[in-house]
Structure 1
């Protein structure tokens, strides 16, 4: 159990120090985390609606921070190139995220040709029903994306690595709020880079 906790701590720390330098990114992670928590609550009542909130609000705000605001050049704090960080990234690096997001955008397309989505859904009778069915598709995609990467990690590295990563992903909303809740205020104060992180590395 101690080994599991240490592995989780390491994955969380590596993710933070390599991919969360920018205060806009950190602030968007707070927004994303709140949306994910709303989705978690909704999942008990309406899983499809929870998936809509998760993908449209939580995932878009989260990934926008990484794609548009996080620096991609040489990381002087960690003495690592962007290419090196991408190579050792345990979960979805930027390249994998782009593939996943592309699948996400295209995944509802089969509904145009087959409203039952290959017999898995009841054909929608109105726009609300179509949106709800899209939610189900996105829920299945989220589960598939999680299980696919866990399986990859179990095969390529170890079972513990895969299980630890899944635990990290599912608990990230709670951890992100704890870690980045001050970021919006710091951003309003004109701070763009996480100076505390840099100070910790150079201490």
Structure 2
């Protein structure tokens, strides 16, 4: 694999993700918070994987996806001069439809473990709330890993293994990149700037 081509594709995926899906200053600020909590979750993976998954899904994904669902503008994108349907069609990772399905599965896991603590005999049933929370965390961890690998395999088939590997790298390193990219966003939001004017996007190059 050519390193130069790999890094260029990584920059392209990050650039498209930023310009198409992070125009709201609220969304950017929530991504900043999400990124910090993801780094905490990364550390907790080596200490308490179940707790790491709870942090990752409830705090990190909660802030991140609420930014996309509730604050990011939809409809025609005047910054990039493209329709929302076009952006959803070319999205490399999880577009809004895929995210909705993934979140639905995520929300259903703790309910399943309440109704079926043994998951139809697959695991030892939890006997208290702490056990149920631990089982939920482990299941969420499996969902996160499975969701990542599933999309990578999809990309390998519909696009190329190269695209899939680059996207996986992007996802795993997004917390570091988002902190560097969006740490000023809360300050801009405090100044009353609800949307990033994105002059660098309008000029056609990263700022």
Deviation of 1:121 after TM superposition, in Å, equals 3.3
Scaled by the length of structure 1, the TM-score of the pair is 0.95
Residue 175 of structure 1 aligns with which residue? Answer: 177
Gaps of 5+ in 1: none
- Partner secondary structure for residue 110 of structure 2: coil
* Mapping of residues 82-161 of structure 1, within 5 Å: 82-161=84-163
Scaled by the length of structure 2, the TM-score of the pair is 0.94
Gaps of 5+ in 2: none
Q: Which runs of 4+ in 1 moved over 4 A?
A: none
**Is 1:17 the counterpart of 2:30 in the alignment?**
no
Provide the aligned C-alpha RMSD in A: 1.3
| In 1: Cα distance, 2:10 partner to 2:149 partner | 18
Aligned residue pair count: 202
1:84-133 per-residue CA deviation (whole Å, 9 max, x = no partner) reads: 00000000001110010001101233323432234443322211111111
Q: Is 1:21–1:194's contact at 8 Å kept on the other side of the alignment?
A: yes
Q: Say if 1:199 and 1:158 are closer, same or farther in 2 by CA, change over 3 A.
A: closer
Q: Say if 1:199 and 1:114 are closer, same or farther in 2 by CA, change over 3 A.
A: closer
Q: Is 2:79–2:201's contact at 8 Å kept on the other side of the alignment?
A: no
Q: Is 2:114–2:132's contact at 8 Å kept on the other side of the alignment?
A: no
